[in-house]
Amino acid sequence: MNDRPDPKKAEQTAASDLQAGRDIYIGSITQIVNQSDAPKPAESPQISLSIDALVEQVRSQVCDKIQDQCGIMRLLDISHRVGLDELYVDVNILDDIPNQRWARITDRLQDFDPTADEFERFYLGQVRQARVPGLEVAARNPKLMVLGKPGSGKTTFLKHLAIECNKGTFHKNYVPLFVVLKKFTDHAKITGNLNLFNYINQELLVCDISTPDVENLLKKGRFLILLDGLDEVSEQDSEAVRQEIMLLSERYYRNQFVVTCRTQAQKYIFENLTYVEVADFNSKQIETFANKWFVAVARNSEQNGLVMAAEFIEKLNFPENRRVRELAVTPILLSLTCLVFNDLEDLPTNRANLYERGLNILLSRWDEVKGIQRNEIYRDLSLPRKIKLLSQVATITFGQSDYFFEQDKIQRYIADYLRTLPNIEANPETLQVGSQVVLESIEVQHGLLVERSRGIYSFSHLTFQEYLTARNFVANWSPDVLQILVSKVAEIRWREVFLLTSEMLENADDLLWQMKQQIHELIASDKKLQHFLMWVNQKALSVNVSSKPITIRAFCFALGFNVDLHLDIDPSHLFYFEAISHNELNAELDLAYALDTALKYSYMPDQKPIHAVDIASAYTFILNSAPKLAESLQHLKDQLPDQKGDEEVLRQWWQANGKTWTEQLRYVMIKHCRIGHNWQFSEHQKEFLKKYYNANKLLVDCLNNCKVSSQVRLEIEATLFLPKAEIQKQQ
């Protein structure tokens, strides 16, 4: 008597419940195993093959299918197909998953300074562990869960593994098998049979691979099973799919399994999988991707494509494009940036438009292109409301200097927004549940909020937090909102918010004028600082250069302010409306640098390595135009020791002679150039002058990148860096 389960009955049971439990699954697997153990017909010659020979035979049978499935890449807004090998860039992997670590916010904020020049804004200063090549990680981990943000290259990495296995360059003794989990569940809805083994078996039947051969290879552990897009499975099917993966990987444990999922995956727990995360592109990977993109995607010749890619990388590395560069660290956003550059033949001057497109990709476009319909995360949370929610959260957290925030705090912000929606139950329990669902969906589906460590969140990009804050100001523009924003003009961390707000406003007259007034008030009541501004104006008037007065005043302000305060002055800096090329000013700039360096060495010779104090270039600039100054500089040059000699000898010279030599240089500069004064500012005054300088630089940058009337532009240019008395004269 046959005691095996009735196949029809088992299939009917599975059809009635797509989320069948472990018993049903094991029953169906047992049935298949029993069938495969039964005597085989004599006409099946493959049973006599060795396992290695069977692997080779099956590899040849699936080769075309794998190449068709995995040999191309999906690119946003690109109509033609692009081969995987044409664009693939080797990925790096983070072994240590940030959101699986425990950390306090105070731990996260150590060494965290978003105003620092070298600050890693994308990582928010927290991802510093070593990166490991993806193939290396896959080779040493037989059971792997690869996590990553939307568009971070998870699917592409999985396809790369399949192609390399197909070629025999990775796991050449395995048979690659690529399964899109969303297609698996779609198939199950049609057939009423959510069984991963059966699905794999049916996929391989197309390649004329028999069920006994599939079972034999599984039992011997000869499949590289690549399961893509666990996060793309619908909510109602997710637990059943998780069980299918878990049971298949446990029963056929000798095989290699690699699963991909978006970063937030705590609900997808697999005890037998090792969790890793796809790292963002570094500068070398960005360059490699761009070189391939402009050849393969833009369909240029190799020579023209590489030339265009080099121009793209060069402009991406410009200081003014730093924020764009910070976003372009994932394939999806880097591809968008390449696409914009290809269309414009330049990077956009209006970065707000680029950020809006990037936000739209993450919120909806990427899923639309892939044909994914996410679960409705909250019945009244449409896409515009989702953006409004994120904008409010960004504004609150940024306004409070919160770059990291605890889960209960972010859920309170979300609950406060949900409470304002129509037809929402406002009781605390409902809002608590709803806020958690919304938070998880924003992270899993869009990657805009990220769990940096257990229970501690941040925006995935600080740039998005700044952009959404600016967007919120523009959406709610009013006199009160204007005053709130303008009050932050001297805080350097608000710089990007001001720039983006001014870009997005239809008319920025009120914003820029109020910024100018607020900047003026910073030092209006300090007599000593007003005296310094009077010197700036007089010095600027004495310079005979065919540049705008504001340009000369800005240059002279920085020139006089540099000594002792160490501002990095460069006449070609974007601060100025036009470049300054004038021997007198160039000489004075060199002398200011020389005096600044000499002061460091003469008063703190043990604190820094000794380098050359260069007054030779200043001497060259004025040799013919200012002979008396040239003579004085020659005398000072003759006193200096050999500056290429032993550093210890130099240090001893500066200890013995530095103060006297430095004061001689200062005297020469004051006498001949009217620069180099020892203003003896207090620390408080120095701080306010730095704020004043940076705020004026911000105002000029806004002025150059927004819609403003010619009248307001002229009024601002006419009064920048002028003392209070001069401004009153003009009024």
Residues 6+ apart with CB under 8 A from 387: 359, 363, 468, 471
Q: For residue 110, is it within any domain?
A: no
Sign of CA dihedral 697, 698, 704, 709: negative
Contact 214, 57 (CB under 8 A): no
Pairwise CA distance, residues 208 & 275, whole Å: 35
* Exposure of 450 in the CB half-sphere (CA atoms within 13 A): 25
CB hemisphere CA count around 240 (13 angstroms): 24
Number of H helices, E strands in the chain: 33, 12
What's the mean per-residue pLDDT of the chain? 80
Same domain, 583 and 539: yes
Residue 230 falls inside a structural domain: yes
Specify which residues 82 forms β-bridges with: 73
Please state the φ and ψ torsions of residue 251, each to the nearest 5 degrees: -70, -45
Domain harbouring 260, CATH code? 3.40.50.300
Strands (E), 17-91: 72-73, 82-83
- Predicted confidence (pLDDT) per residue in 178-194, tens digit: 999 989 998 998 989 99
Listed residues 248, 278, 308: the one ending a domain: 278
Domain closes at, from 327, 346, 369: 369
H-run or E-run covering 583: helix 583-603
Phi and psi at 258, nearest 5°, equal: -130, 125
pLDDT digits (tens, 9 = 90+) for 398-434: 999 888 888 899 999 999 998 888 877 778 888 888 8
**Pick from 329, 11, 272, 286: nearest CA to 152:** 329
Q: Is residue 114 part of a domain?
A: no
Q: State how far the Cα of 125 lies from the Cα of 11, in Å rounded to an integer.
A: 53
Same domain as 288, residue 274: no
Does residue 94 surpass a pLDDT of 90? no
Tell me the CA end-to-end span of the chain in Å, nearest whole number: 108
Identify whether 311 is part of a domain: yes
Domain span at 343: 283-369
- 274 and 287 in a single domain? The answer is no
Residues 176 and 196 grouped into a single domain:
yes
For residue 354, the one-letter residue type is L
pLDDT tens-digit map of 216-241: 999 999 999 999 988 888 778 888 99
Once rounded to an integer, what is the mean pLDDT over residues 673-696? 87
As given in the structure block, the two tokens for residue 211 are 């069920």
Contact 668, 633 (CB under 8 A): yes
User: Does the residue 121 lie in any domain?
Assistant: no
Q: Give per-residue pLDDT as tens, 346-359.
A: 888 778 888 888 77
Please list, residue by residue across 279-295, b when 16 or more beta carbons sit within 10 angstroms of its beta carbon and e when fewer do.
bbbeeebbbbbbbbbbb
Q: Is 474 within a domain? A: yes
Which of 347, 369, 391 lies at the terminal end of a domain, its last residue? 369
Whether residues 451 and 342 share a domain: the answer is: no
Identify whether residues 528 and 504 lie together within a single domain.
Answer: no
pLDDT digits (tens, 9 = 90+) for 633-684: 889 888 888 777 777 888 888 888 888 998 898 888 888 888 878 888 888 9
Whether residue 298 is found in the same domain as residue 236: no
Same domain, residue pair 240 and 304:
no
The domain tally of the chain equals 4
Burial (Cβ within 10 Å: 0-12, 13-18, ≥19) of residue 106: exposed
Contacts of 546 (CB under 8 A, 6+ apart): none
- The pLDDT-based confidence of 268 (bands split at 50, 70, 90) is low
pTM, rounded to two decimals: 0.67
589 and 716 both lie in a single domain: yes
pLDDT (tens digit per residue) in 313-371: 999 998 878 878 877 888 888 888 888 888 888 888 778 888 888 777 777 655 555 55
For residues 132 and 332, what is the distance between their CA atoms, to the nearest angstrom?
A: 21
Which residue, among 276, 315, 310, has the nearest Cα to 293 in the 3D structure?
Answer: 310
Same domain, 700 and 614: yes
101 in a structural domain: no
Q: For residue range 477-518, what is the model confidence (pLDDT) as tens digits?
A: 999 999 999 999 999 889 989 999 999 999 999 999 999 999
Task: Mark whether 407 and 334 lie in a shared domain.
Answer: no
What average pLDDT does the segment 275-296 reach? 92
Q: Are residues 297 and 274 in the same domain?
A: no
Is there a contact between 280 and 152 (Cβ–Cβ < 8 Å)?
yes
pLDDT-based confidence at 595, cuts 50/70/90? confident
Residue 429 lies in a domain: yes
Q: How far apart are CA 513 and CA 521, in angstroms?
A: 13
- Residue 275, phi then psi, degrees to nearest 5: -95, 130
What does the pLDDT look like over 32-43, one tens digit per residue?
Answer: 334 434 334 333
Nearest to 704 by CA among 551, 541, 559, 602: 551
